[in-house]
Structure 1
Amino acid sequence: MTHRPFKAFALILLLAACGGGNTVAQDAVSPQGAGDSRVAKHVFGSMPQPSSQTSQPIGGYSQGCQAGAAQLPETGPTWQAMRLSRNRNWAQPATIDFIADLSAYAATLPGWRGLYVGDMSQPRGGPMTSGHRSHQTGLDVDVWMNAPQRLDLSPQEREEISAIDMQRAEGAYVNDRWTPAHEALLRHAAQDPRVARIFVFAGAKVAMCDHATGDRSWLRKIRPWYGHNEHFHVRLDCPAGSATCAPQDPIPMGDGCDEARSWVAGILNPAPADPNAPPAEPRGDLTLAELPGQCMGVLASD
């Protein structure tokens, strides 16, 4: 599998030397995208390589795509990319740099050799064929909770090994696999100015709220969310100067601990189901017409 340049500045220099590729125009609207009812995940999921464009996230985390993605090398000095068969170790250069930095820190923690890195994005981003609603712009990355003892896993081992479950009581508490190193890793990630949010199960957030001392401002970025008991999900801010990237709304003020405790209370004492409540509307698949117009240019690029 071809590896893209590793550091963001190296990618930028290379593109400059080669003429910069096809820059995504901020106000470009592709007429081919208007009214295109094709299911976006099928089209983007079939693209095996990134576009030959200047690197740029386009649209929102759950309704966008990415131009000029870089590939996280399958194995680095302090990480390994997992589930290589999915071809989801692609992201914006800033995300590649972040993983290199966070994994180097992880390697300093007791019992950790680095990180096992889960899903990032598809080569051209966009909706995934399975597993995620977000991860569309190259700014999201899942980090497994495992403390790696080896960084020489074969491709087959990376398909077979499982991420470890850290929750107890359906996510209300952490289990005995949770360690101070996990808290230190999430704290370090949350203190990184590139990070917008980190999603993890509610019990982990409450455990960190209970143990954190000194400066607690980093807790604000740790957000409780379902299904994040075997990995934590890091979301980066839109890079500076990225006119096509749509940021999320700001995080509410405060450390968010009361909110996390309310999640835990709901897990331990769920409200009774309302028999008169209408069934939830199923979420339909995004079509190409619902994505930013620039995404058609991403698909059309070499």
Structure 2
Amino acid sequence: MEKPVILLVKEIYYPILTAVGLPANLMTIAILSRGNCGLSKCISVYMLAMATADLLVIFINVMLYYIFSYHFPLSFLSQTSVCKTILYMTVVNLDCSVWFTVSFTFDRFVAICCQKFKFKFCTKKASTAVVTTISALVLLKNIPAFFAYEHQHLINNMQWGCRASLAFFSSTPGRAYIWFHGAWVLWLPFSHIVLFNSLTVRCILVANRARTRLRGDRSKDHSDSETENRRKSIIMLFTVSVTFILLWLTYAVSLVTTKLSNTIYYLGDRTNPAYIATETGAFLKLLSCFQNPCIYTVTQSKFRKELKNAAKYPWRLIPRLVGNN
């Protein structure tokens, strides 16, 4: 019996995403940690947090859950305790990735539009506190995920596998958690990103008009360093935000149409349109964890320079090793 096309796509797509996503995010973390990209310390904290969350998504959500657990169903990863921990971490990782993106958007809004507040908020200490608080809240918020699954088999008094707990998802707390999770990971982030970006654009347009009038010569505006810095900042901000929304949009729509529970209970054939839509949404939302390294490479010249230096380093090291021998 032939495998459904969607399963074949998953078997090809997830290994490729892992192969490119892991080294890309590792390289991003290494480059940002060096602090040579000309970024402020608070921006670096948020970008490092996003890269770390994306790395964990690729490693745990994609590699451990979608690849190893799928291809090696009898490994220790399939023990119920391990399986439930992996499922819990898949939710935590995605939540952190989403809300670090929101916090980065809010930080840029404050830096550009709230001149008095930015000196208190846009600091390394404040950004570290924000990232730590978000991580703690996400860990606490997803504790119900441990109770959302139960063992699938009992072999030699050992629990194996994970399946959705019908008792949990049919209960009032279970349904409330589902809808709260949907709002937390989709609608609240979407609305906040759109709101902050809209206010940021308005503030930049007003500031640029005022600056142009003060300078009195529009032709010189192109050489204005402050305007150029704002332009670069807003390009990166919008690219990160818009790409995030587009890649998560399919998942958001499928989540609403299937009300999530249909996907959790789903045990039918893999040609069902609802299942295909849900899996396609998963493809795209996980692809968002590879987007930021690409965006930094395209929009940040100093990041590209550091990336080129990193790529050249092994070739520079070879002559030294050969010379020492």
Which one has a larger percent strand, Structure 1 or Structure 2?
1
* TM-score scaled by length of structure 2: 0.28
Over alpha carbons, which structure has the higher Rg?
2
